[in-house]
Amino acid sequence: MFKDRPLFSSLHSQASWRPDAVISLIGLLILLAWDFSGGDMQMAQWWGESTGFALRDNWWMVKVMHEGMRNAGWVLLLALAAGIWRPWGSLRHLATGDRAGLFLSVVCALLAVTLIKGISKTSCPWDLQVFGGTASYISHWNVFEMDGGGGHCFPAGHASTGFAFMAAYFGLRQNGAPSARIWLVCALLAGLVLGVSQQMRGAHFMSHTLWTAWLSWSVGWLSHGLFSRLRGKS
């Protein structure tokens, strides 16, 4: 049963932002620990060799896990946009403004990853010399030095096809939707599976996937809070 009373939504929003912030902070600390652990290269060597990545051009990985899932993500995003005017599923229990805010939160999460990726000088693992490419390994923290590769590989854009939809969780939760947690878990798992599938091809390091997850959660949470305040709901 949805609790659609304004008082409930306001109190729930005020009570929930603190744990959301704590989750974001803990996630950031975990990310920093992973970044400086050297785990990226060790994990990449599970699938990559000096001659490259055997699964880079694998049909299933390319046509299904990459192209197919990317198209599915676009379909879901368009469905959320259409749901603003013609609601479906749990969207039927949200006001029009809440549905718009939910959609915009997902878009903000996607844009955050896309914008950072667009200016990043970090190349993909398959571009590195250790895996048969021409680029040198340089940490994504070194934002001023070129590594000799194509760049634009950080964070993981394909993983955002799943992770970005975590942003919808906040709008569903605020309106008391019982499907909110299910949505969150599905988006989290989808992002993780898509991220790992790209790592197996040599397209990303684990840190790229983890940063995409953190950005999607944090930007989704912050943008939802902003849209809610603009509408006077929190």
Instruction: Categorize the per-residue pLDDT at 17 as very low, low, confident or very high, splitting at 50, 70 and 90.
Output: low
Nearest to 36 by CA among 195, 192, 159, 207: 207
Dist CA 234 CA 231 (whole Å):
8
Q: Which of 125, 222, 111 is nearest to 157 (CA)?
A: 111
β-bridge partners, 128: 135
Please state, in angstroms and rounded to a whole number, the distance separating the CA atoms of residues 157 and 198. 10
* 63's tokens: 């046509």
Percent of the chain topping pLDDT 70: 92
> CA distances (Å), 147 to each of 51, 70, 125, 135, 158, in order?
19, 28, 11, 5, 22
Give the mean pLDDT of 168-197. 94
Q: What is the pLDDT of residue 93?
A: 85
pLDDT at 143: 86
Q: State the average pLDDT over residues 217-226.
A: 94
Give the predicted TM-score (pTM) of the model. 0.90
Summarize the confidence of residues 127-154 as an average pLDDT.
93
Tokens representing residue 17 in the block: 């932002």
CA 207 to chain centre: 12
Average pLDDT over residues 80-95: 94
Query: What residues have CB less than 8 Å from 233, skipping those under 6 apart?
Result: 6, 9, 10, 13, 98, 174
Packed helices 180-201 and 206-230: angle between N→C axes, nearest 10 degrees: 150
Calpha distance 138→133 (Å, rounded)? 14
Nearest to 148 by CA among 136, 138, 139, 159: 136
CA dihedral 38, 208, 123, 57 (to 10 degrees): 110
Average pLDDT of the chain to the nearest whole number:
91
Contact 233, 10 (CB under 8 A): yes
Give the Cα-Cα-Cα angle 114, 117, 122 (nearest 5 degrees): 170
| Torsions phi, psi for 48 (to 5 deg) | -105, 150
> Both tokens of residue 161?
């096809």
Q: Give the Cβ contact number of residue 196 at 10 Å.
A: 18
